[in-house]
Amino acid sequence: MTFQLCHLYSRADKVVGYAAPAYYADHLCERGKLYLEAQYPEAIDATASMPSSDDAHELLRWRQEVEERCGWFNDLQAKLASAGGHNLQGRNFFC
């Protein structure tokens, strides 16, 4: 099944190295990251990784920022859906 999924990637005309859903998930994450960076210019430094578990205060602040941004995005999607607009459910947002 995995071999067959390697043939379904729509952006390539040849077989790709791993299953197409993995490529699509990667594109979705990258597009989401760029979208949030545009909405939050003061975003967490892209080169920085998650704080170490030793620094509990920094880890809590980082987690709160992530939850705030995810909440904002989810609220935006709920407003669009309730107003009869488009949301991302079932769409190829990443293609």
Structure tokens that stand for 3 in this block = 């071999």
Q: What is the pTM of this model?
A: 0.51
Place of tokens 């920085």: 48
Count of domains observed in the chain:
1
Classify residue 53: in a domain, yes or no: yes
| Domain that residue 50 falls in | 2-82
- Over residues 5-29, the pLDDT tens digits come to 899 888 888 999 989 999 888 888 8
pLDDT of residue 79 exceeding 80, the answer is yes
pLDDT of residue 47 exceeding 60, the answer is no
Q: What is the pLDDT of residue 66?
A: 80
Classify residue 94: in a domain, yes or no: no
Classify residue 40: in a domain, yes or no: yes
